[in-house]
Amino acid sequence: MDKVFIEELYILATIGVYNWEKEIKQKLLLDLSMDWDNHPAAATDDLRHALNYAAVSEAVTSLVSGKPFELIETVAEEVAALLLNDFQIQHVAVTVRKPGAVANAKCVGVSIERTRS
């Protein structure tokens, strides 16, 4: 299976468990790797047969920036569910990074892989 990917999608979100985090926006970086058959798009040179990464980016940004989250684990799960359900992707890998969450680390994060049932 082919892969369509988006690296370091920058999203400002309300994310965190501490009270002060609930009052500010923080940066999240998302990496998405989505299984997709690129043959039809390549054969026709037609966007209608491609996984539209601009539409994927907009949908993920809207989801993550649109409501508060406490855990990046929840962000990853909800993004995976959105992609599997709304874009008919069969398999997705989602990495969510939260830069600056730990003082002496460049960033922390989680990675998950999910398959549509």
In terms of phi and psi (left: phi > 0; alpha: psi -120 to 50; beta: otherwise), the region of 88 is: left
Contact residues for 103 (Cβ-Cβ < 8 A; gap 6+): none
Q: Is 98 a catalytic residue?
A: yes
Task: List the catalytic residue out of 3, 25, 67, 98.
Answer: 98
Cα separations in angstroms, 80 against 3, 22, 74, 83, 92: 15, 23, 10, 5, 6
Could you tell me which of 60, 47, 42 has the C-alpha nearest to residue 6? 60
Catalytic residues: 98
